[in-house]
Amino acid sequence: MRVTFPHMGNLYIPLKAMLNYLEVDVVVPPPSSKKTLNLGVKHGPEFACMPLKLNLGNFIEAREMGADTIIMAGGCGPCRFGYYAQIEHAILKDIGCDMQLIVLEPPEKNISELIVKMKKITGSRSWWQVIQAIRFGYQKALAVDEMEKTAFQVRPREAKPGATDRAFSEALTLIDNAASQVELAEARKKADTIMAGVARKHGAPVVRIAVIGEIYTLLEPFSNHRLERHLGLLGVEVDRSIYLSEWVNDHLLFGLVKNLRSSKDACASASPYLCHFVGGHGQETVGSAVNYALAGYDGIIQVYPFTCMPEIVAQSILPGVGSDYDIPILTLIMDEHTGEAGLQTRLEAFIDLLARRKETREAVNR
Amino acid sequence: MKVGIPRALLYYYYYPMWRTFFEELGAEVVLSSPSTRVTLTQGLKHAVDEVCLPVKLFFGHVLDLTGKVDFIFLPRMVSVEHRKYICPKFLGLPDMIRRLDGLPDLIGVDVNLYRKNRDLYTAINKVGSLFTGNKFKIFRAYRNSVKTLQKYCRLLQMGLMPAEALAVLENNVGDKPLGYPLEMNVAVIGHPYNIYDPYISMNLVGRLKEMGANVLTAEHVPEKILRSNAARLPKKLFWSLGHRMIGAAYHYLDRQDISGVVHVAAFGCGPDSMTGELIERHARALRAPFLNLTLDEHTGEAGIVTRLEAFLDMVRWKKAEAAGL
Any CB–CB contact under 8 A between A326 and chain B? Answer: no
- B28-73: pLDDT as tens digits: 999 999 999 999 999 999 999 999 999 999 999 999 999 999 999 9
- Asked if A310 lies within 8 A of B88 by C-beta distance, the reply is yes
Nearest residue, CB atoms, B270 vs list A76, A87, A309: A309
* Strands (E) located in chain B: 2-5, 28-31, 71-73, 76-79, 105-107, 110-112, 184-190, 213-217, 258-266, 290-295
Mutate to test the interface with B, among A56, A83, A100, A308 (most CBs of B within 10 A): A83
For residue B178, pLDDT over 80 is answered with no
Q: What does the pLDDT read at residue A125?
A: 87
Closest chain A C-alpha to B263 CA, distance in angstroms: 14
Identify the pLDDT of residue B141: 96
ipTM metric: 0.93
Integer Cα distance of A71 and A75 in angstroms: 14
pLDDT at A108: 72
Q: How confident is the model at residue B132 (pLDDT cuts 50, 70, 90)?
A: very high
**Nearest-CB residue to B50 (from A74, A78, A312):** A312
Rounded Cα gap, residues B159 and B181, in angstroms: 13
How far are the Cα atoms of A95, B161, B178 from residue B175, in angstroms, in the given order? 56, 17, 9
pLDDT at A206: 86
Q: How far does Cα A245 stand from its chain's mean position? A: 10
Antiparallel, parallel or unpaired: β B184-190 and B213-217: parallel
The full DSSP string for B28-94 is EEEEPPPP-HHHHHHHHHHS-TTS-HHHHHHHHHHHHHTTT-SEEE--EEEESBTTBB--HHHHHHH
Write the pLDDT tens digit of every residue in A91-150: 999 999 989 999 988 777 777 888 888 888 888 888 899 889 999 999 999 999 999 999
Q: Which segments of chain A have a pLDDT < 50? A: none
Facing residue for A86 by CB, picked from B50, B89, B234: B234
What digits encode the pLDDT tens for the residues A278-305?
A: 999 999 999 999 999 999 999 999 999 9
Q: CB distance from A78 to chain B under 8 Å?
A: yes
Residues of chain A neighbouring B76 (CB-CB closer than 8 A): 276
The answer to whether A43 touches A91, Cβ cutoff 8 Å, is yes
The alpha carbon of residue B122 is apart from the nearest alpha carbon of chain A, in Å, by: 17
| Other CB atoms within 10 A of residue A234 CB | 18
pLDDT at B303: 92
pLDDT score, position A199:
93
Region B229-258 average pLDDT: 95
**Sheet containing A299-305: which strands, arranged edge to edge?**
A236-240, A207-213, A299-305, A329-334
In sequence order, what are the residues at sequence separation of 6 or more whose Cβ sits closer than 8 angstroms to the Cβ of residue B75? B94, B107, B108, B109, B110, B111, B123, B127
Report pLDDT for B256.
92
Q: Which pLDDT does position B96 carry in this prediction?
A: 95
